[in-house]
Amino acid sequence: MKLNEQQLSMLEGEQGPGAQKAMNILLAYGDCYDAERMIPITSAHIAGNFPVLLDEGIEWLEDLGRNGTKVAVYTTKNPEMYDFEQAETLHVPTIYQVRQKRIHEALKALGVTLTYSCHHYLVGNVPRFGDHIAWASSGSQVYANSVIGARSNRDGDHVALAAAITGVIPEWGMHIRENRKADMLIDVGQLPLEKYDPADYKALGWYLGKLVGTRIPAVVNLPNDMHIEAVKGLLYTLTVTGATGLVHLAGITPEATSLESAFGGSPPDSPDIVPSQGDVDKAYLEISSSPEERIDLVIFGCPQCSIQEVQEIAGLLKGKRLHPDTQLWICTSRWVKTLCERMGLLDILDTAGARIVCDIGAADGPHLYLREKGIRVIAINSARGSYYAHNLFGMDTWFGSTQDCVRSAISGRWEGRK
Partner 1 sequence: MKLKAKSITKGVAEGEALVSHSPISFTGGMDPDTGKIREPGHDLEGQSIAGKILVFPTGKGSTTGSWQYYAAFKRGNAPKGIINANAEGVVAVAAIITSTPMVHKLEKDPLTCIETGDFVRIDADHGMVEIEKVGR
Binding region for partner 1 (CB under 8 A) out of 150-158, 222-230, 270-278, 338-346: 150-158
Give the DSSP per-residue string, 38-97.
Answer: EEE-SEEEE---HHHHHHHHHHHHHHHTTT----SSEEEE---SS-GGGTTTTT--HHHH
d(CA 186, CA 286): 21
Sheet with 355-358: list strands edge to edge: 355-358, 327-332, 297-300, 377-380, 396-399
- Residue 157 interacts with partner 1 (CB under 8 A): yes or no: yes
- Residue 80 interacts with partner 1 (CB under 8 A)? no
| Helices and strands: H and E segment counts in the chain | 16, 13
Smallest gap, in angstroms, from Cβ of residue 9 to partner 1? 19
Instruction: Return the number of the residue (13 or 156) whose C-beta is nearest partner 1.
Output: 156
32 contributes a contact to partner 1 by CB under 8 A: yes
Residue 29 as a binder of partner 1 (CB under 8 A): the answer is yes
**Nearest residue (CB) to partner 1, 65 versus 400:** 65
CB of 13 to partner 1, least distance (A): 15
Which of 14, 36, 54, 108 lies at the binding interface for partner 1 (CB under 8 A)?
A: 54
Contact call for residue 154 and partner 1 (CB under 8 A)? yes
57 is an interface residue for partner 1 by CB under 8 A: yes
The correct pick among 2, 5, 56, 94 for binding partner 1 (CB under 8 A) is 56
In sign, the C-alpha dihedral spanning 137, 143, 148, 151 is positive
Q: With CB under 8 A as the contact rule, which of the stretches 53-61, 65-73, 84-92, 119-127 interacts with partner 1?
A: 53-61
Hey, which residues between 7 and 26 contact partner 1 (CB under 8 A)? 21, 24-25
- Direct distance between the N- and C-terminal alpha carbons of the chain, in angstroms, rounded to an integer: 54
Q: How many residues bind partner 1 (CB under 8 A)?
A: 29
| b/e burial code for range 263-275 (CB count within 10 A of at least 16 → b) | beeebeeebebeb
Tell which one of 11, 159, 163, 219 touches partner 1 (CB under 8 A). Answer: 159
Q: Are residues 130 and 175 in contact, defined by beta-carbon separation less than 8 angstroms?
A: no
Q: Give least dist CB 392 to partner 1, A.
A: 8
The burial of 91, by beta-carbon neighbours within 10 Å (0-12 exposed, 13-18 middle, 19 or more buried), is given as exposed
Q: Does 236 interact with partner 1 (rule: CB under 8 A)? A: no
d(CA 250, CA 258): 6
Q: Which is nearer to partner 1, 343 or 392 (CB)?
A: 392
Q: Which is nearer to partner 1, 52 or 176 (CB)?
A: 52
Binding residues among 265-284 for partner 1 as defined by CB under 8 A: none
- State which amino acid sits at residue 42: T
Q: Vertex 253, ends 248 and 254: CA angle to 5°?
A: 125
Binding site for partner 1 (CB under 8 A): 21, 24-25, 27-29, 31-33, 47-48, 52-57, 59-60, 136, 138, 153-159, 392
